[in-house]
Structure 1
Amino acid sequence: MLNVHTLESVSCFTSLGDSGYVRILPAIAALLLLPLVPTAAHAAPSGTYYVTGVRTGLNVAQSGTGLALHRPKGNEDHQQWRLSDGRFENTDSPGQCITRQLTMGSCAQADAVHELRQFGDQWEFFGLGGESRWYLTPVSARTEPMPADPRLDQMTFLTAHNAYANGVDGGFAPPFVDLAKNQTRGIVQQLADGVRGFMLDIHQTADGAILCHNSCTLVSRPVALNVDLQRIVDFLGNNRSEIVTVFLEDYVDANTLRAELRKVRGLNDVLYRAEGVSQNGWPTRGQMQASNKRLIIFTDHGKDGREDSGVLYQKDWTVENHWSMGPGVGASDWSCYSRWDEKPLTATGSFQPLFVMNHFRDVPFSSTATTDNGKLANRAQQLCQPAARKKPNFLAVDLYHLGNTAQAVGLLNSYVYRP
């Protein structure tokens, strides 16, 4: 660690002339490359936090007289901790703190005091379930006003889950009756209503990449991917300030996808290829508008060369929570955990991954969707935002016209979240 004595020993070489500088430069370089020394326990923050594992994204929860790692779920199962002077007191059990033996005991005992060491935005204080590094995420969100020209990762967009399964634009499910519509309005109307994210399933057929559920066999009036993409590109041509994102659940080969994209007139004029994002982060809205690159297409298909057509492999650029809150009726699971075990919602790096927040059931019933969509903002802010340590960028819902989805998007677009 560089300290006063180290600097004094370095300064003694200033009178040695050029040869002295030559001898000391390697020593200075070595000192500067030393790892950061963690902050001592007295620098630990005070307040109420979620304690989240860096590796798994799971939260520390009180479980009887012990501890467990649970999926982030607000405070529905004792996941909030009041931190003061190195003590972790569970907010549901006043006076009860985590001991060094990882049990629950009196906060008054010396065994309840932990030494916290800080490493950037991570902390080290005890090991549990294979985790040794933790995030401390405030329960009360820290926010700042949205800037006039926000970055892409600071914005939130209303997203239609299975946007093609609407019963208006064409058929989507075999055999001939299109049941369980995820939306009831066509793509053009969705765009007019403010939908800016579109989840589309594409399957391989002799006719190319076709939009349908599970299988395109016996689908009446099938719709090709290029048809809906053309609708979106035409919309962008007439609305020069708008940004649209497409998410492909992709079951076609690379050549079929390339051929389908080539059919879309004007696609390359608006297609955004994420150039420079890994080095510089996401562009601002104004930068995307100025370049006219305002359509992002993600695919969940593994890398096999299809990226050369301008689609982006989603797992490289986003995080996404589990796709279902449960069946179409009855109890729901509002926990917010990653769709991909190997990539927690808290993942970050040289740039901030975009956060896709799924908020829908297995089967879309109008009454259930109305209730769920009315709670969209609450789940986004109280559960998913702290679980990911980032604000959702895409709120994906069924039957987007029901509930308060537009209001939720507007609320999230009023601030920048700071974990």
Structure 2
Amino acid sequence: MRFTFISSAIALVASTMLLRGADAQQLCNGYAELCAKTYDQVSYATAHNAYSYTPRGALALNQNNDIPTQLKDGIRAFMLDAYNLPSGATNDIELCHSYCNLLDAGPLSAVLGQIKTFMDQNPNEVISIFWENAANLAPARFQTVYQAAGMTPYLYTQAAGSTTWPTLASMISSKKRLLNFVDSGADASVPWLMAEYDFIFETPWQITAGSEYPCTVDRPKDQERGMYVMNHFISKQVIVGDQTYDVPQSAIVAQTNGQDLATHANKCTQTFSKIPNFVAVDFYEQGSVFQTVAQLNGVTWNGKAPTPPPSSTKNAAAGKNGGVSSAVVTLAAAAAAAIFTV
């Protein structure tokens, strides 16, 4: 009897562990229904200029929350801009917006460390990174930083010309669940740094308040691909001296990321006969970004509310500049002066 009892207990514990293991594998990017979908059949909440949450008050600020918070909240694609280090060293990449004098968020190595920590702790998540190769860096530069950060085991490579993508479940099973796309400079020497426009097109990104949200092919010009980025963020052009800056419009983001986002997504879905794969937004935690992405994916939103921005990051009230505070305009002037005196 004692042997039978012990055997039964062992069997119960084993079956419980198996069930827990099965449960852990059921969710892919937070939803069981996404596991059987291929990568190109899924929509991903995307942070436009994800790194530009610091320094606080910078002219080019696009986000309020840092990247670890973005990951925790459900952002699964990140737009990053690559520049040379101010020191001139080649062992890292600097994350800047337009000019490092304007917004400098520091080295890529720090951000990759944050992403790796999240991926290590969350094995059922597929992550994408979009690179704007602003400084025309060689793929080997990216390779150096990714290898040093320990990202190599996670890197996924899609064969050039292939239109067949794996399911999220198979990516998770293989552990190859970090996808990297670059807008220019890709070559065969670093195959995981994939040429974005071989696989993806983008809708126009320069959208001003009051204008219609476009569902046209902007990049590559008039060439559709199997997937697409729907750029959905409002900016206002501010002229300082002889320079024009596109300033994100935080004052109207509740509307931008609310009903306007759902309307834009539905319009593009009808126009292109497929859902937008990457829904790129500013200030993602405001509005209904995750509800809209869930709807595009045909799942019931899990109800997980994003993290509110720290109160100290909220921009000053909108004035004559349409959401651009006088402090920010002053900063723009200082940044422009710095650019031309370097």
**1:365-390: CA deviation from partner (whole Å, max 9, x where unpaired):** 22322111002122101x21122221
1:160 deviates by 0.4
Match of 1:384 in 2: 268
Q: Secondary structure at the match of 1:283?
A: coil
Structure 2: where are the runs of 5+ without partners? 1-32, 236-246, 300-342
Cα 1:306–1:187 shift into 2, 3 Å = farther
Residue 359 in structure 1 maps to residue 243 in structure 2: no
2:46/2:75 contact within 8 Å kept = yes
Cα 1:343–1:233 shift into 2, 3 Å = farther
Larger helix percent: 2
2:253/2:287 contact within 8 Å kept = yes
**1:24-67: CA deviation from partner (whole Å, max 9, x where unpaired):** xxxxxxxxxxxxxxxxxxxxxxxxxxxxxxxxxxxxxxxxxxxx
Residue 262 in structure 1 maps to residue 135 in structure 2: no
Cα 1:411–1:157 shift into 2, 3 Å = same
Q: Distance in 1 between the 2:123 and 2:294 partners?
A: 20
Structure 1: where are the runs of 5+ without partners? 1-145
Q: Distance in 2 between the 1:202 and 1:147 partners?
A: 31
Match of 2:199 in 1: 317
Larger strand percent: 1
Cα 1:306–1:203 shift into 2, 3 Å = farther
TM-score (structure 2 length as normaliser):
0.68
Q: Distance in 2 between the 1:323 and 1:280 partners?
A: 25
**1:79-108: CA deviation from partner (whole Å, max 9, x where unpaired):** xxxxxxxxxxxxxxxxxxxxxxxxxxxxxx
Moved runs in structure 1, 4+ residues, more than 6 A?
Answer: none
2:45/2:289 contact within 8 Å kept = yes
**Higher RCO by CA contacts (8 Å cutoff, separation 6 or greater):** 2
2:126 to 231, 243, 261: 243
Q: Secondary structure at the match of 1:226?
A: helix
* Corresponding residue pairs, total: 249
1:219 deviates by 5.8
Q: Distance in 1 between the 2:119 and 2:38 partners?
A: 19
Aligned alpha-carbon RMSD (Å)? 2.2
Residue 164 in structure 1 maps to residue 43 in structure 2: no
How does 1:165-244 map onto structure 2 within 5 Å? 165-167=52-54, 171=55, 178-205=58-85, 206-207=88-89, 208-217=92-101, 222-244=105-127
Compare 185-194 and 367-376 and name the one that shifted more.
Answer: 367-376
Q: Secondary structure at the match of 1:246?
A: strand
1:183 deviates by 0.3
Match of 1:78 in 2: none
Match of 1:337 in 2: 216
**1:116-174: CA deviation from partner (whole Å, max 9, x where unpaired):** xxxxxxxxxxxxxxxxxxxxxxxxxxxxxx6761111111111000000002xxx49xx
Residue 155 in structure 1 maps to residue 42 in structure 2: yes
Q: Distance in 1 between the 2:39 and 2:188 partners?
A: 26
Q: Distance in 1 between the 2:204 and 2:73 partners?
A: 26
Cα 1:219–1:320 shift into 2, 3 Å = closer
**1:167-202: CA deviation from partner (whole Å, max 9, x where unpaired):** 2xxx49xxxx62241001000000011111100111
Of structures 1 and 2, the larger Rg is shown by 1
Cα 1:403–1:256 shift into 2, 3 Å = same
2:39/2:168 contact within 8 Å kept = yes
How does 1:20-419 map onto structure 2 within 5 Å? 149-167=36-54, 171=55, 178-205=58-85, 206-207=88-89, 208-217=92-101, 222-250=105-133, 251-254=135-138, 255-265=140-150, 267-275=151-159, 278-279=161-162, 281-305=164-188, 307-308=190-191, 310-326=192-208, 330-340=209-219, 342-344=221-223, 347-348=224-225, 353-362=226-235, 363-374=247-258, 375-381=260-266, 383-414=267-298
Identity %: 33
Q: Distance in 2 between the 1:377 and 1:364 partners?
A: 20
Q: Secondary structure at the match of 2:270?
A: helix
What amino acid sits opposite 2:256 in the alignment?
D
Cα 1:218–1:285 shift into 2, 3 Å = closer
Cα 1:270–1:303 shift into 2, 3 Å = closer
1:402 deviates by 0.6
